[in-house]
């Protein structure tokens, strides 16, 4: 027997063999059984979903000599004649190729003649293609149909069918087949046909079928003929991988592979577009993806890697290529150019390309941040436990507790503080215990910090305090320590972490702290209550969200951390904070506490001196100084709150301040703050009374105004 395409060999011959259209065939079968068949049907739906096959089965059923509940027997003479295409009871007209009125007239004439069987079925395929005249001729017949005739009008586009025709028919909508149904169908066919087909080949055919049983079977035929799973599939996958990896060579290699295996660039482009579309769907509406599971996951993974913006852009580019291909002198080049554009957005200045690059950057940034956090967190966690024992001694240098401690400091009993009188020396006092420190590190929760603090401060041992003192001092931001002439050697490094700092700084801090704590742990194994541990753990956990840049409620400068508490302890009206403390707290602790307008103004300034107990803040120019003067009370209020004592502020002008890029530049770690632009911070430029002419003449020395403007 000559080769017969699978889709023809496995064309459904009975109602029950029609896949995925149960709603249609059940109605038709019942109509046949009950002898209630309408005189005209309209079958609409995508191609390859069984419209024509169903019409033929209907013809069989209407002529079968051995009907079973509306189902044709398939063995009687009329049934076999219909199946063989020799039955006079079935007349087909393809309106796509015979759309003229003549063809329809001819059809109608025959319809009015006698009948060979019981009922004649006229099938008009692609009925929406009929010309107007033909449609009207058909309409006339539909209005007064001969009794022995049934019209089946099939169309892929029911909206283009004359409404008057539609309204005279019973309309059935055929649907695309789901991937699982199609897979099952292909497996059955393959098994029945004795084909050895790999699961991947079935998947590939299902994908190409895209919901159409006929297309899927054709694809299966093709795959079987080419001896295995579609190479085109593999090459399309390769192209998409290339897009994901932004690997131009790989994408083009995929195209070359496909073309080498004989694929037409057009079909490759269409396949790429279909693949990308599935990817987009898997991101936006996963339920709509009709793919076998394995392929579905693959596509979804690729889509995630590409990201929506890149996906849309790729889809557009390939879609454009598909449109341009029919007229392209060399279709392959057109496709390749499209792929290069997609893989090299830097070579494309279209907004979409730029958007995609942005998205790509964002994703990379996210990944890096996540990676960084993950890299540091284990360290943090481990040390935290180790630190537990270290409790009291703990003052790990690294810790830049100020943040956390600060919260606790106010509550610390004076007694505990060693030398309240001496703020600078004070550093040690409160800061002490390991636990507090650990709590402090996270910078978050003041509560946990407090608990730990008490025990140590309570009395533990002078030694502990002392130790703490040394440790804390350094950490208190190298600055304070140094200024106070503290030895505090170790601290240096850890303190490095600027109080503020962005995530990076935060991470550094954590690392430093962790390291410090570990050291301590080794040094002093002792007591360590659980509470601190919990606190530290909790704190550690809390840290990430706590986002270092803006210290919690009441940020406190590293240096200040200690002193303030000391002050609280007893020293009323203590000496003003020194310049180092002021500078240390300025950008990270004080500025953020100001209202946005004030912050904008003051951020241009910098503390340059402490004179007679007043902090001298230099501003780049007189205008800014005047503006800041208005807000001076607010600044003093914040400073007083922060340092725990009144801090008078004097404003001066120092142009070099501006040149340095604003007062916030006290520490390099504060770069983030400088980038930050708050619209509220913007102030109007001074008014300019000059006219445009004035300014023009000024700008062009020697220019003269010749006439009235
Ligand atoms: Zn029959």
Class of residue 91 by CB neighbours under 10 A (exposed 0-12, middle 13-18, buried 19+): middle
Q: How far is the CA of 89 from the centre of ligand 1 (A)?
A: 13
CB 105 within 8 A of CB 139: no
What residues are paired with 405 via a beta bridge?
none
Q: Which residues pair with 651 in a beta bridge?
A: 617
In the reported structure, the alpha carbon of residue 487 is separated from the centroid of ligand 1 by a whole-number distance in angstroms of 107
Q: Give 121 Cα–ligand 1 centroid separation in angstroms.
A: 15
Which CATH number does the domain housing residue 279 bear? 1.20.272.10
Count of other CB atoms within 10 angstroms of residue 141 = 22
Q: Is residue 464 part of a domain?
A: yes
pLDDT of residue 96: 81
Q: How far is CA 26 from CA 358, 659, 688, in A?
A: 54, 85, 84
Residue 125 CA to ligand 1 center (angstroms) comes to: 24
| Cα distance between residue 539 and residue 449, in whole Å | 9
Q: What's the gap in Å between 63 CA and the centre of ligand 1?
A: 7
Contact 588, 555 (CB under 8 A): yes
Q: How many CA atoms lie within 13 A of 314 on its CB side?
A: 38
For residue 48, the enclosing domain spans 6-175
Q: Which residues lie across from 170 on neighbouring strands?
A: 41
The reply to whether 416 and 558 lie within a common domain is: yes
| Ligand 1 (single-atom ion) residues, CB below 5 Å | 64, 66, 72-73, 76, 79
Question: Residue 523: helix, strand or coil by DSSP?
Answer: helix
Asked whether residue 11 falls in the same domain as residue 146, the answer is: yes
Strand partners, 94: 125
Q: Tell me: do 410 and 550 sit in the same domain.
A: yes
CA 142 – ligand 1 centroid, Å: 27
Quick one: pLDDT at residue 50? 92
* Pair (564, 602) in one structural domain: no
> Which pLDDT score is estimated for 363?
82
C-alpha 206: how far from its chain's center?
29
Question: DSSP labels for 87-140?
Answer: -TTEEEEETTT--SHHHHHHHHHHHHS--SSS-EEEEEETGGGS-HHHHHHHHH
Is 355 inside a domain boundary?
Answer: no
Backbone φ and ψ for 433, nearest 5 degrees, come out as -50, 150
Distance CA 377, CA 447 (A): 22
Q: Which H/E stretch holds residue 40?
A: strand 40-44
Ligand 1 center to 154 CA (angstroms): 24
User: How far apart are the CA of 21 and the centre of ligand 1, in A?
Assistant: 22
Is residue 501 within 8 Å of residue 523, measured between CB atoms? no
| Ligand 1 center to 36 CA (angstroms) | 19
State in Å: Cα 150 to ligand 1 middle: 18
Ligand 1 centroid, distance to 538 Cα (angstroms): 80
Please give the Cα distance from 698 to 701 (Å, whole number): 6
The two counts, helices (H) then strands (E), for the chain are: 34, 8
What is the 118 CA–ligand 1 centroid distance (Å)? 12
In this structure, the answer to whether residues 246 and 126 fall within a common structural domain is no
Q: Do the Cβ atoms of 25 and 37 come closer than 8 Å?
A: no
Cα 185 to ligand 1 centre (Å): 25
11 occurs within a structural domain: yes
Quick check: 348 and 324 in contact, CB under 8 A?
no
Alpha carbon 343 to its chain centroid, in Å, reads 19
- Measured in Å, residue 13 CA sits from the centre of ligand 1 at 11
Alpha carbon of 123 to ligand 1 centroid (Å): 19
Nearest-angstrom CA–CA distance, 526 and 521? 8
Interatomic CA distance for residues 266 and 379, integer angstroms: 55
Of 285, 318, 348, the position where a domain reaches its end is 348
Residue 133 CA to residue 129 CA, distance in Å, equals 11
**CA 77 – ligand 1 centroid, Å:** 7
What distance in Å separates the CA atoms of residue 198 and residue 227, rounded to the nearest whole number?
10
Predicted local confidence at residue 9, as pLDDT: 87
Would you say 554 and 450 are in contact if contact means Cβ atoms under 8 Å apart?
Answer: no
71 CA distance to ligand 1 centroid (A)?
A: 9
Residue 708 lies in a domain: no
* Domain boundary, last residue among 135, 150, 175: 175
Task: Give the residue from 123, 133, 135, 140 showing the smallest Cα distance to 160.
Answer: 135
Q: Where are the alpha helices (DSSP H) in 526-595?
A: 530-546, 558-569, 579-585
Number of domains in the chain: 4
Measured in Å, residue 79 CA sits from the centre of ligand 1 at 4
Q: Are residues 341 and 464 in the same domain?
A: no
Distance CA 709, CA 696 (A): 12
**Residue 234: Cβ within 10 Å count:** 17
In this structure, the answer to whether residues 474 and 542 fall within a common structural domain is yes
Q: How far is the CA of 31 from the centre of ligand 1 (A)?
A: 17
Q: How far is CA 105 from CA 93, 98, 109, 181, 535, in A?
A: 11, 11, 6, 41, 92
Query: At a CB cut-off of 8 Å and minimum separation 6, what does 193 contact?
Result: 6, 9, 10
- CA 404-409-412 angle, to 5 degrees, is 135
Residue 354: inside a domain, yes or no? no
For residues 440 and 527, membership in a common domain is answered with: yes
Residue 505 placed within a domain: yes
Shared-domain flag, residues 428 and 557: yes
Distances, alpha carbon 634 to alpha carbons 203, 592, 613, 639, 666, in Å: 70, 12, 18, 9, 21
Alpha carbon of 192 to ligand 1 centroid (Å) = 23
Looking at the structure, do residues 564 and 606 belong to the same domain, yes or no?
no
Report the alpha-carbon distance of residue 313 to residue 614 in Å, rounded: 61
Calculate how far, in angstroms, residue 20's C-alpha sits from the geometric centre of ligand 1. 23
CA of 32 to the centre of ligand 1 (A): 13
pLDDT of 438 reads 39
**CA-based nearest residue to 560, from 593, 514, 517, 605:** 593
Same domain, 542 and 498: yes
Q: What is the DSSP annotation of 404-456? A: HHHHHGGGS-GGG-S-TT-HHHHTTTTS--HHHHHHHTTT--HHHHHHHHHHH
Q: What 3-state class would DSSP assign to 268?
A: helix
**Domain CATH code at residue 628:** 3.30.300.150
Q: Which residues of the chain have pLDDT under 70?
A: 1-2, 114-117, 227-232, 347-349, 376-576, 658-683, 685-690, 707-709
Report residue 121: phi and psi, to 5°.
Answer: -115, 125
How far apart are alpha carbons 117 and 88 in whole angstroms? 8
Residue at 291 is within a domain: yes
Distance 120 CA to ligand 1 centre (A): 15
Q: Rounded to the nearest whole angstrom, what is the distance from the C-alpha of residue 117 to the centroid of ligand 1?
A: 12
Does 384 fall in a domain? no
- CA distance from start to end of the chain: 97
Is there a single domain that holds both residue 431 and residue 560? Answer: yes
CA-nearest of 628, 638, 555 to 594 is: 638
């Amino acid at each position: 027997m000559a080769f017969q395409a699978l889709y023809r060999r496995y064309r459904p011959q009975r109602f029950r063999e029609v896949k995925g259209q149960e709603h249609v065939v059940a109605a038709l079968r019942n109509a046949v059984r009950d002898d209630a068949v309408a005189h005209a049907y309209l079958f609409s739906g995508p191609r390859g979903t069984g419209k024509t096959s169903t019409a033929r089965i209907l013809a069989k059923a209407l002529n079968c000599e051995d009907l079973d509940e509306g189902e044709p027997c398939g063995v009687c003479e009329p049934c076999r004649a219909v199946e063989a295409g020799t039955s006079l009871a079935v007349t087909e007209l393809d309106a796509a190729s015979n759309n003229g009125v003549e063809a329809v007239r001819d059809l109608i004439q025959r319809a009015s003649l006698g009948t060979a069987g019981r009922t004649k079925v006229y099938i008009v395929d692609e009925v929406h293609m009929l010309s107007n005249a033909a449609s009207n001729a058909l309409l006339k017949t539909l209005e007064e149909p001969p009794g022995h005739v049934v019209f089946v009008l099939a169309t892929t586009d029911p909206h283009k069918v004359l409404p008057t025709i539609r309204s005279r028919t019973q309309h059935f909508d055929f649907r695309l087949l789901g991937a699982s149904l199609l897979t099952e169908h292909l497996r059955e066919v393959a098994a029945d046909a004795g084909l050895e087909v790999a699961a991947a080949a079935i998947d590939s055919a299902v994908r190409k079928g895209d919901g159409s049983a006929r297309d899927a079977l054709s694809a299966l035929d093709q795959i079987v003929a080419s001896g295995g799973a579609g190479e085109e599939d593999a090459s399309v996958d390769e192209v998409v991988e290339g897009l994901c990896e932004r690997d131009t060579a790989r994408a083009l290699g995929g195209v070359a592979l496909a073309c080498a295996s004989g694929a037409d660039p057009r079909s490759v482009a269409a396949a790429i577009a279909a693949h990308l579309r599935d990817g987009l769907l898997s991101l936006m509406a996963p339920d709509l993806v009709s793919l076998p599971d394995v392929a579905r996951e693959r596509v979804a993974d690729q889509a995630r890697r590409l990201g929506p913006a890149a996906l849309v852009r790729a889809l557009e580019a390939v879609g454009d290529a598909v449109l341009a291909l029919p007229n392209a002198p060399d279709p392959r080049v057109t496709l390749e150019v499209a792929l290069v554009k997609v893989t090299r957005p830097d070579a494309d200045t279209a907004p979409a390309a730029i958007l995609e690059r942005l998205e790509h950057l964002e994703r990379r940034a996210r990944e890096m941040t996540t990676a960084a956090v993950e890299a540091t967190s284990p360290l943090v966690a481990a040390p935290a436990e180790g630190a537990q024992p270290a409790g009291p001694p703990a003052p790990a240098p690294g810790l830049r507790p100020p943040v956390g401690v600060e919260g606790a400091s106010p509550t610390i009993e004076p007694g505990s503080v060693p030398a309240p009188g001496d703020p600078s020396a004070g550093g040690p006092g409160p800061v002490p215990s390991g636990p507090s420190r650990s709590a402090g590190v996270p910078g978050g929760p003041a509560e946990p910090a407090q608990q730990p603090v008490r025990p140590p401060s309570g009395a533990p041992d002078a030694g502990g305090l002392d130790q703490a003192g040394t440790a804390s001092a350094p950490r208190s931001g190298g600055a304070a320590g140094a200024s106070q002439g503290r030895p505090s050697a170790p601290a240096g490094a850890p303190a490095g972490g600027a109080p503020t700092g962005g995530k990076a700084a935060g991470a550094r801090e954590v690392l430093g702290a962790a390291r410090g704590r570990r050291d301590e742990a080794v040094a002093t194994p002792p007591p360590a209550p659980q509470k601190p541990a919990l606190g530290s753990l909790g704190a550690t956990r809390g840290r990430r969200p706590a986002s270092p840049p803006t210290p919690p409620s009441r940020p406190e400068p590293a240096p200040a951390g200690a002193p303030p508490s000391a002050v609280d302890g007893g020293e009323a009206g203590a000496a003003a904070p020194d310049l180092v403390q002021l500078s240390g707290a300025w950008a990270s602790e004080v500025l953020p506490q100001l209202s946005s307008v004030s912050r904008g103004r003051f951020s241009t300034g910098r503390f340059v001196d402490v004179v007679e107990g007043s902090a001298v803040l230099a501003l780049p120019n007189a205008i800014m100084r005047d503006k800041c003067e208005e807000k001076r009370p607010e600044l003093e209020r914040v400073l007083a709150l922060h340092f725990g004592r009144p801090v008078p502020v004097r404003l001066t002008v120092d142009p070099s301040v501006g040149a340095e890029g604003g007062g916030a530049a006290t520490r390099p770690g504060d770069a983030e703050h400088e980038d930050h632009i708050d619209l509220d911070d913007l102030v109007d430029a001074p008014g300019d009374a000059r006219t445009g002419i004035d300014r023009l003449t000024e700008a062009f020395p020697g220019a003269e105004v010749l006439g009235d403007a």
